[in-house]
Amino acid sequence: MKKEEKEIVIDALAEKFKQYKNVYITDISGLNAQKTSDLRRLLFKQGINLQVAKNTLIAKAFEKSGRDFGNLATALAGNSALMLSEDTKAPAKAIKEFRKKGTIPALKGAAIDMDVFIGDNQLDALLTLKSKNELLGEIIGLLQSPAQNVISGLKQGGGKIAGILKTLSERPEEENN
């Protein structure tokens, strides 16, 4: 590969690292052509971009992207394939689902927003991560809960007072005295 071609690959990868907040490094080297095609189909359906490149080019693209990948470059050994996704857990789910057919792909590492996970033993941790939107939804729900209780209480109390006033106003005049 010529230097110009390498620069094109590095630039393209750096742009993808800017575009996608979630980067998984996997090893799919043991897959035959049919299984690789099946994996690509599964990933495509889930909105995951699969990219294969040389480790040195991936490492240079990490640097060029301007993002902090921490020690994720240490996972770049042997054959590497990148899974890029907007969804935090989608690649982890896809790996888990595809493993039902065998033990590949192996997770080498992942960068989720600003956090780095190294090793295949981190797959279950990645599956339990909550996305930013899920966390924001939970926080908003927690904040809304007390306010909704107060409003509900006021509505119920107001209905009781209105009922009492209506009952008193409907009584004959002599009973009110």
Determine the pLDDT at residue 15.
Answer: 93
Cα 45 to chain centroid, rounded = 16
Q: Output the pLDDT for position 61.
A: 94
Residue with the two structure tokens 């080297």: 29
Closest CA to 20 of 70, 65, 73: 65
Q: Which of 53, 1, 31, 45 is nearest to 23 (CA)?
A: 53
Helix (H) or strand (E) holding 51: strand 49-52
Ranges of each domain in the chain: 3-129, 134-176
Q: What is the CATH number of domain 3-129?
A: 3.30.70.1730
- What pLDDT was estimated at residue 168? 73
pLDDT for res 150: 65
At 140 the pLDDT is: 82
128 to 89, 122, 124: CA distances (angstroms): 8, 10, 7
Beta bridge partner(s), residue 49: 84
pLDDT tens-place values along the chain, 177 residues long: 888 999 999 999 999 999 998 999 999 888 888 888 989 999 999 999 999 999 999 999 999 998 889 899 999 988 899 999 998 889 999 999 888 887 688 999 999 878 899 999 888 888 887 777 777 887 887 777 776 666 676 666 666 666 777 777 777 765 555
* One-letter amino acid for residue 177 of the chain: N
CB atoms under 10 Å from CB of 7, counted, come to 13
Q: What are the helix (H) ranges across the chain?
A: 3-19, 33-45, 55-65, 90-99, 123-128, 132-170, 173-176
